[in-house]
Amino acid sequence: MNRAVEGKVAVVTGASSGIGRATVVELARRGYAVAIHYCSNEQGGRETLAQVRALENGKARVYSADLAIPSEASQMAGDVLADFGRVDVLVNNAGGLIQRKPLAEMEFDLWRRVFAVNLDSVFLVTRAFLPVMAKQRSGVIVNVASVAGRNGGGPGAAAYSTSKGAVITLTKGMAKEFINHGIRVNCVNPGVIDTPFHQRFSTPEMIARFVSQIPQGRTGASEEVASVIAFLVSDESSHIVGESIEVNGGILMD
């Protein structure tokens, strides 16, 4: 048990697989009690819970909600606070591509759904947990955006990349507003990570093309993103505010 996080609670959204699951396990390993959120993948959420319970002293609970719906985001926050009494870390990881589609062929309803899942959910969940963090005068928020938000994304991903670019900007706005409440906000931008996201939306040919553009010559692992998130929520990053950290093997360098 890390004494610095003893008694602290972390919420991770979109934690039924991939980066979300890896983040839950890493934070639980470091001693956080973790609220595991999933939307529709109940089996995945339960599998994440099982991985935490397999750890020594691992503590977690599972919650289901469509975080693009205001009432469900508020209800989940209320349930978490009723169970744990506090929230010290919020990782806004929930999101998705929904469907690869060129803008010229995209229906407005799909455009709005992509933004609801990737951007609205960050606003709604953060707004729901902000009062308790402000009352505590402490807290850390990490938003998970994407390299797509920096470079426009791959084929048929303009809506997704635009929504993730907005998350990067929202992170800076949150950071400026919340720091006076003792709350730090930062962002991670994963590159091409080996997760169910790409297994669902990217063909092997697309993955090969993406990898050919990565100087490191490989896709990333969810655990490599989770370790950066864990750093950002720790006291070791106490002077980092409003930053977006690229985790992409060199595909985009600033």
Q: How many CB atoms lie within 10 A of CB 140?
A: 25
Counting DSSP H helices and E strands in the chain, the numbers are 10, 7
Q: Is 32 a catalytic residue?
A: no
| Strand 59-64, strand 33-38: pairing | parallel
Question: Using CA atoms, how far apart are residues 85 and 58, in angstroms rounded to an integer?
Answer: 18
Please give the C-alpha separations between residue 26 and each of 5, 55, 224, 243, in angstroms, as whole numbers.
13, 10, 10, 21
Nearest in space to 60 (alpha carbons), one of 34, 42, 32, 78: 34
Chain CA centroid to CA 42, Å? 18
Question: Helices in 179-214 by DSSP H: which ranges?
Answer: 196-201, 204-212
Residues 6+ apart with CB under 8 A from 182: 133, 134, 136, 137, 138, 139
State the catalytic residue, choosing from 32, 38, 63, 160.
160
Active site residues: 160
